[in-house]
Amino acid sequence: MNIVNVDYDGLIPNNVGLGTDVRVKRALEKWHPGYINWWNDMGPEGFQESLVYLRTAVSVDPKGWAKFDYVKMPDYRWGILLAPQLQGRKIPFGKHKGEDAWQEVPGEYRAMLRRLIVIQGDTEPASVEQQRYLGKTAPSLYDMRNLFQVNVEEGRHLWAMVYLLQKYFGTDGREEAEALLQRRSGDADTPRMLGAFNEKTPDWLSFFMFTYFTDRDGKMQLEALAQSGFDPLSRTCRFMLTEEAHHMFVGETGVTRVVQRTCDAMKEAGITDPNDIARVRKLGVIDLPTLQKKANMHFSLTLDLFGNEISTNAANAYHAGIKGRFREDRLQDDHQLKGGTYPVLRLKDGKIQSEDAPALSALNMRLRDDYVVDCNLGIGRWNKVIEAAGIPFKITLPHVAFHRHIGEFAGIHADTSGKQLSDAEWEKQKGDYLPSDGDRDYIESLMKPETEPGKFASWIAPPKVGIDNKPGEFEYVKIA
Ligand SMILES: [Fe+2]
Ligand SMILES: [Fe+2]
């Protein structure tokens, strides 16, 4: 059963034996035209005829799973790829810990599983919709190609979730699969399910911040689902994580290159004060305080995706063996959280303070904490660039109570250090912490496309290495 190679013979590439699974094959072939219509309507605007140098998964072997070639995006081979089944895999946590992993949906957890799969699935097309106009202002062909790579893979992640719905959930799975093609990011009547996926991604700095912060939430959710006792979900998520790594690479290196360009330009111009925003902007680069504000915004919006700090849903999903902790398999405890506690930041008597809560109820908080640790790693690398340039500035993450709409701190205002503010103080100060209209206008003014191979817009440095080791002047997108 160790299927590593992918069958590319049929309409839908797969390594799940679709050729002999007539019912699911038919259901997916029926869903396919609707997907292509969705892609043509809501995918990258203006580039559907262009040839893009994309990677396509040809195997699920971690040592060599992708091949690169020029493809028109609508012809991309979206497929269904699961990581190889591990023989004898057991449910790693919860009340069924140690039992054989489920190969079919356990009846008692059917509704819970379907809900988790639909929520995960909904984020995938949402991000494609959010990013659909960015190709027109790409700062280079290299960046344009990376955007499109992320987009086609988010499309594939939709396929991954739709496969689970079609294969394991019968009629209501089919209905959910249809509904995933009907909702639209930011639509007043039929929005996507989660807040951050209804925000706009209007410019490339937003795109890099989104792939850094929000795709990283995706990574955390996939990591938690990769631990699932429902084996097909686990295997699907494990393969998605290999693709997800590239999305965060795009975000992390994207911001690094913006920081690099800003620091280089400041040095050349002899500007040492990072807060001399007017002078820095005259150089056609993005000043560091504005980068900080963008980070504040994307981080805080993404924290909301982790839900309430104390959550019965999260406790139930863990107890059931459906959704685990980040890297559950590397943690050393009873994997059932009997009697354990976990410190949770809460609003108590009007103050933000830590309080021990039952570990089982605090799983969202714990995943969020793991996320914050993960976020800080890349920010350390951004700061190294600033430090090497000798500029006295440090990018930091805001306090978790800052600018929240879900959870303990949704009802208060706090500054980026966690100090509570009155409504009036917040109104007066928020422009210091979040991008103002002026900041947005300035960033927008920089969004001029650069489509000559090897050239980059004024506000971003070239990458250190090309994709697939291609040289600097490689034509990553042949624009049609
Ligand atoms: Fe994804
Ligand atoms: Fe992603």
- What single string gives the DSSP state of each residue in 97-112? TTSBPBSS--GGGHHH
- 72 CB neighbour count, 10 Å cutoff: 15
- Please tell me the distance between residue 147's alpha carbon and the centre of ligand 2 in angstroms: 11
- Please tell me the distance between residue 247's alpha carbon and the centre of ligand 2 in angstroms: 5
Q: Which ligand minimizes its atom distance to the CA of 239?
A: 1
- Please tell me the distance between residue 151's alpha carbon and the centre of ligand 2 in angstroms: 8
Q: Which ligand minimizes its atom distance to the CA of 157?
A: 1
Q: Which ligand minimizes its atom distance to the CA of 211?
A: 2
Q: Which ligand minimizes its atom distance to the CA of 150?
A: 2
Give the C-alpha distances (Å, rounded to integers) separating 381 from 17, 323, 376, 378, 419.
Answer: 43, 31, 9, 5, 27
- Please tell me the distance between residue 266's alpha carbon and the centre of ligand 2 in angstroms: 33
- Please tell me the distance between residue 398's alpha carbon and the centre of ligand 1 in angstroms: 25
State the Cα angle at 417 between 392 and 203, rounded to 5°.
70
User: What pairs with residue 68 in β-bridges?
Assistant: 55
- Please tell me the distance between residue 105's alpha carbon and the centre of ligand 2 in angstroms: 26
Question: Three-state DSSP class for 3?
Answer: coil
- 87 CB neighbour count, 10 Å cutoff: 7
- Please tell me the distance between residue 140's alpha carbon and the centre of ligand 1 in angstroms: 23
- Among 300, 251, 257, 293, which Cα is nearest to 274's? 293
- Please tell me the distance between residue 352's alpha carbon and the centre of ligand 1 in angstroms: 34
pLDDT score at 4: 67
Task: Using only the alpha carbons of the chain, give its radius of gyration.
Answer: 23
- Please tell me the distance between residue 163's alpha carbon and the centre of ligand 1 in angstroms: 15
User: What pairs with residue 343 in β-bridges?
Assistant: 356
pLDDT averaged per 10 residues in sequence order, the chain, 480 residues: 70 91 94 97 97 90 83 94 94 98 97 97 97 98 98 97 96 96 97 94 97 96 97 97 94 98 98 97 98 98 97 97 96 94 95 96 97 96 98 98 97 97 97 97 98 98 95 96
- Please tell me the distance between residue 350's alpha carbon and the centre of ligand 1 in angstroms: 38
SS3 percent helix, strand, coil of the chain, rounded to 5, is 50, 10, 40
pLDDT score at 3: 58
Q: Which ligand minimizes its atom distance to the CA of 121?
A: 1
- Please tell me the distance between residue 128's alpha carbon and the centre of ligand 2 in angstroms: 10
pLDDT score at 285: 98
Q: d(Cα 147, Cα 138) in Å, to the nearest integer? A: 9
Q: d(Cα 278, Cα 301) in Å, to the nearest integer? A: 28
Contact 118, 180 (CB under 8 A): yes
Q: Which ligand minimizes its atom distance to the CA of 247?
A: 2
- Please tell me the distance between residue 202's alpha carbon and the centre of ligand 2 in angstroms: 18
Locate 424 and state its tokens.
Answer: 């009036």
- Please tell me the distance between residue 305's alpha carbon and the centre of ligand 1 in angstroms: 14
- Please tell me the distance between residue 248's alpha carbon and the centre of ligand 2 in angstroms: 7
- Please tell me the distance between residue 307's alpha carbon and the centre of ligand 2 in angstroms: 19
Q: Which ligand minimizes its atom distance to the CA of 246?
A: 2
Q: Which ligand minimizes its atom distance to the CA of 149?
A: 2
- Please tell me the distance between residue 69's alpha carbon and the centre of ligand 2 in angstroms: 21
H or E segment and range at residue 69: strand 66-72
- Please tell me the distance between residue 70's alpha carbon and the centre of ligand 1 in angstroms: 22
Contact 218, 123 (CB under 8 A): yes
pLDDT score at 319: 97
Q: If you write DSSP's letter for every residue of 419-462 in order, what string do you get? A: -EE-HHHHHHHHHHHS--HHHHHHHHHH-----STT---TT-PP
- 69 CB neighbour count, 10 Å cutoff: 11
- Please tell me the distance between residue 82's alpha carbon and the centre of ligand 2 in angstroms: 17
Q: d(Cα 162, Cα 118) in Å, to the nearest integer? A: 8
- Residues within 5 A (CB) of ion ligand 2: 215, 244, 247
8-state DSSP, 59: B
297 half-sphere exposure, CB direction, 13 A CA radius: 24
Give the sign of the dihedral formed by CA 13, CA 15, CA 20, CA 23.
Answer: negative
Q: d(Cα 110, Cα 107) in Å, to the nearest integer? A: 5
Task: Return the amino acid letter for 255.
Answer: V
Q: Note the helical H segments in 81-140.
A: 110-130
For residue 60, report the phi and psi dihedrals to the nearest 5 degrees: -115, 20
- Please tell me the distance between residue 474's alpha carbon and the centre of ligand 1 in angstroms: 27
- Please tell me the distance between residue 307's alpha carbon and the centre of ligand 1 in angstroms: 19
Q: Which ligand minimizes its atom distance to the CA of 244?
A: 2
Residue found under tokens 């049609």? 480
- Please tell me the distance between residue 243's alpha carbon and the centre of ligand 1 in angstroms: 8
Q: d(Cα 316, Cα 443) in Å, to the nearest integer? A: 44
- Please tell me the distance between residue 18's alpha carbon and the centre of ligand 2 in angstroms: 25
